[in-house]
Structure 1
Amino acid sequence: MNLETTYLGLRLRNPLVASAGPLSQTVDGIKALADGGAAAVVLYSVFEEQIRHQAELDAALVERNAETFGEALSYFPELPGIDDGDVPAHYLHLVEEGAKAAGVPVIGSINGSTRGGWTQYARQLEEAGAAAIELNIYFVVGDISLSGREVEERHLEILRSVKQAVSIPVAVKLSPYFSSVGHMCRQLSEAGADGLVLFNRFLQPEIDIDAMDVEPEVNLSAQVEGRLPRTWIAALHGRVTASLAATSGVQGPEDVVRYLLAGADVVMSTSALVRHGADYGHQLLGGLESWMDTKGYTCLEDVRGLLSIRHADENAYQRAGYVTALEKAKTTYGGL
C-alpha cells in the first residue's frame, strides 16, 4: 500500500501530519509523534510578541553596555540580528534537536499579525534545521474602519516578508472569515505561498456571568468542524498551485479519508492525538489503509480529490446542495 504524498515540495511517507500543539513542546514529544506515525511535525507556535519582547531586552542590554563601556564597543562581538531581536533560544534549540531526533521533517510555526523585522527570524528557523515554515496569521480585526481589502493586504504583506527571508517552503494557516475565501487563497498562492492550511481556529472567549469577566478558553476540535475546511479544499483542489493541508475535526480514520477524497495533500491533527496519545497516528493510518484495501485502491494518488468539485457533482457543494439539505432537515426534524 503506497501512502506517500508530497506537501510543500517535501516527499512524505504518508499524509498524516501532527499539527502545531502541546505535544510538540519537547524533543521527546516530537520523536513520539514521529514514532506514532506522523510523517511530519509542526511545532507549537512562537509568537510575534515573544520575538518583539526579546528584541526589546536585547536592545536594552546593548544600550546599557554602550553607556557603561562605550570605549570598549569596538571589541564587542557582532550580535546576529541585533537590530530586530532574536527568536527565543529555546525554540531554536527545539527545532534543531527535534529535526535531528524525529527522522521526519520538522516545520517551524510563527504566529503573527503584523509585518515587521521579526519575520527575518524565520531565517533563523531555517538555519536551525526547519524543513519549512508555517505562518499562522492570527489577526482579529477590532478596528471596524479597516476594510476587507486592507485585511487581505496585511496577510499578503506578511507572507511576502517571510518569503523574502527564507528559501525553504512557507505555508499559510488562515481563517475562514474572508468575504471570498477562494479568492484569498488564490492570492496567497500567487504571492508565493507553498501551502495553505485550512483553517485556523480562532479562540472564542467565554463570558463568566458570576465573575463578570471574560475568560479565554481552548477547546479541542469536534468532528463536525471538519465540514467547512473540507468544502473549501474540495473547491480549491486543482485550482491553486499551493499544497492543501486540512486541519480541524479529525477524530477517526474516516475523517482522514474524507479530507483526502476532498483533495487534501496532507491531513493534520492535534485534538485526536491529544485525546488518544501520539500512537493514535498508527490507528488513523491503519484505518486509511483498511478503507483503501476495501475499495480496491493501492496508491494514495488514486484517492485524492475524487470528491473534489472538479470530479464530484458541483451542485452538491453549492446552491442545490444547500436547498436539498434544508428539505432533508424538514423531513428529519419536522415531527419533533
Structure 2
Amino acid sequence: MALTTNYLGLKLKNPLIASASSLNSRLDNIRRLEDAGVGAIVLPSVFQEQIEAEADEVSCRVDAYAESSPEAQSYFSGAIANPYGMGPDSYLNLVRRARAAVGVPVIASLNGSSRAGWTDFARLIEQAGASALELNMYHVPTDLLESGQVIEARYSEIVEAVCGTVALPVAVKLTPYLSSIGHFAEQLVGRGAAGLVLFNRLLEPDIDLLRMKLTDRLDLSEPEEMRLPMLWIAILSGRTKASLAASTGVSDVDGVVKYLLAGADAVMTTSALLRHGVGYMSTLVDGLRTWMEEREIASLDDMRGMMSWLRSRDQSVYSRANYIRILGHYAAP
C-alpha cells in the first residue's frame, strides 16, 4: 500500500498536510503532528503588514539615532507582534526549530496582497531552511476602480518576483473569486509557481442585529464548502504541470478521498485538527489507508484524478449542460 505523493517536487509519505494555523506555531504540536503521521506541515503565516511595520520602525529608529551613535543600528529590531504572537525574527526562528525537530517537509507561509517586503523575507525564509514557500494571496477588492486585470497582474508580478528570488518551490494559495481561474492558474505556473492551493477562504463579517454592529467571528470550514475547490481541482487535474493541493472543508476521511479522486496531489486540513486536536491526523491517515485497502487500490497514483474532468466519461457534469440538467430534474418539496 503506497500512500506516497509528490507535492511541489517534495516526496511526501502521504498526501495529508496540516495547513497554516495557530496550532503549527508550537513546536510540541509540530512534533505531535509528525508522530500522528502527517505528510507535511505549513507554518502559520507571517503577514505583509508585519514585515512592512517592522521595516518602517527600524527605519525611523535608525534615522533618529544614527547620527548620534552609528553603532546603534545593530541594536534595532522589530518587535511588533503578528496575530500568532511572532515577529519576523521569531518566525524565522520557528522555521529553523521546526526543520530541526521533524523529518517531514516544513512549508513557510507569506500572507499579503502586494509586492512590498515579500522578496527579501522570502530569501530569509529560504536561508532559515524551509522546505517550500506558500504565498497566501488575501485581498478583498473594495476599490471600485480596481479592475480584475490589475489585481491578477499584481499577483502575477508577486509570484514572478518571489520565484525569481528563491530556489524554493513556491505554491500559491488562491481565492476562488477570479475572472477565469484556469487561465490565471496557468499564468502563475508560467511565472514560476510550482503548486496551487485551492482555495483561500475570505472571512466575511456578519451583522449583530441586537448591537447593530459588524461581527468578525472566525467560523471553521464545513464539508459542504468542499464542492467549489473540488470542482476546480477536477478541472485542472492532468491539465497543468503544477501540483494541486486541496484546502477547505476536510472533516473526515471521506473528504480526503473525494479530493484525491478529483485529482489533488495533497489534501490540507486545519478545521479538523482545531476541532479534534492534532492527534486526529492519524485518524485521517489510517482512514485513507483502510479505504484503499478495502477497494484493493495499491497506490495513490491508481486513484488520483479518477473523477477528474480529463478522465470523466461525461465531461458535461462539470459544465453548463449539467447545470441545466440539475435544474430540470429538481423537484421542489
What band does the TM-score fall into relative to the shorter chain? over 0.9
The match for 2:4 is: 4
The match for 2:328 is: 327
Provide, for residues 145-168 of structure 1, a one-character-per-residue CA deviation record: whole Å limited to 9, x for no partner: 111111110110111121122110
- Alpha-carbon distance in structure 2 between the residues aligned to 1:53 and 1:77: 18
Provide, for residues 114-155 of structure 1, a one-character-per-residue CA deviation record: whole Å limited to 9, x for no partner: 112333111111111110110001011111111111111011
SS of 1:214's equivalent in the other structure is: strand
- Alpha-carbon distance in structure 2 between the residues aligned to 1:199 and 1:33: 23
- Alpha-carbon distance in structure 2 between the residues aligned to 1:229 and 1:325: 20
SS of 2:211's equivalent in the other structure is: coil
SS of 2:268's equivalent in the other structure is: strand
* Deviation of 1:227 (Å): 0.7
**Structure 2 counterparts to residues 84-99 of structure 1, below 5 A:** 88-99=88-99
Deviates more, 1:38-47 or 1:278-287: 278-287
SS of 1:6's equivalent in the other structure is: strand
* Deviation of 1:64 (Å): 2.4
The match for 2:109 is: 109
**Structure 2 counterparts to residues 294-313 of structure 1, below 5 A:** 294-312=294-312, 313=314
Provide, for residues 206-259 of structure 1, a one-character-per-residue CA deviation record: whole Å limited to 9, x for no partner: 122232222212110000111110110000011111100000011111111111
**Structure 2 counterparts to residues 149-228 of structure 1, below 5 A:** 149-228=149-228
Identity rate, percent:
48
Counterpart amino acid of residue 275 in structure 1? R
Counterpart amino acid of residue 325 in structure 1? I
* Alignment coverage as a number of residue pairs: 325
- Alpha-carbon distance in structure 2 between the residues aligned to 1:137 and 1:33: 26
Q: TM-score normalised to the size of structure 2? A: 0.93
2:110–2:118: 8 Å Cα contact kept in structure 1? Answer: no
- Alpha-carbon distance in structure 1 between the residues aligned to 2:68 and 2:93: 31
1:24–1:43: 8 Å Cα contact kept in structure 2? Answer: yes
- Alpha-carbon distance in structure 1 between the residues aligned to 2:318 and 2:228: 11
- Alpha-carbon distance in structure 2 between the residues aligned to 1:94 and 1:76: 24
Q: TM-score normalised to the size of structure 1? A: 0.92
- Alpha-carbon distance in structure 2 between the residues aligned to 1:76 and 1:57: 12
* Deviation of 1:290 (Å): 1.5
SS of 2:330's equivalent in the other structure is: helix
The match for 1:141 is: 141
1:52–1:118: 8 Å Cα contact kept in structure 2? Answer: no
- Unpaired segments ≥5 residues, structure 1: 81-86
The match for 1:84 is: none
Counterpart amino acid of residue 99 in structure 2? A
* Deviation of 1:326 (Å): 2.2
1:37–1:279: 8 Å Cα contact kept in structure 2? Answer: no
- Unpaired segments ≥5 residues, structure 2: 78-86
* Deviation of 1:77 (Å): 5.9
Provide, for residues 79-123 of structure 1, a one-character-per-residue CA deviation record: whole Å limited to 9, x for no partner: 99xxxxxx6111111111011112211100000111123331111
The match for 1:83 is: none
Q: Superposition RMSD on alpha carbons, in Å?
A: 2.0
1:205–1:217: 8 Å Cα contact kept in structure 2? Answer: yes
**Structure 2 counterparts to residues 213-252 of structure 1, below 5 A:** 213-252=213-252
Counterpart amino acid of residue 211 in structure 1? R
SS of 1:224's equivalent in the other structure is: helix
The match for 2:83 is: none
- Alpha-carbon distance in structure 2 between the residues aligned to 1:163 and 1:79: 29
- Alpha-carbon distance in structure 1 between the residues aligned to 2:92 and 2:14: 26
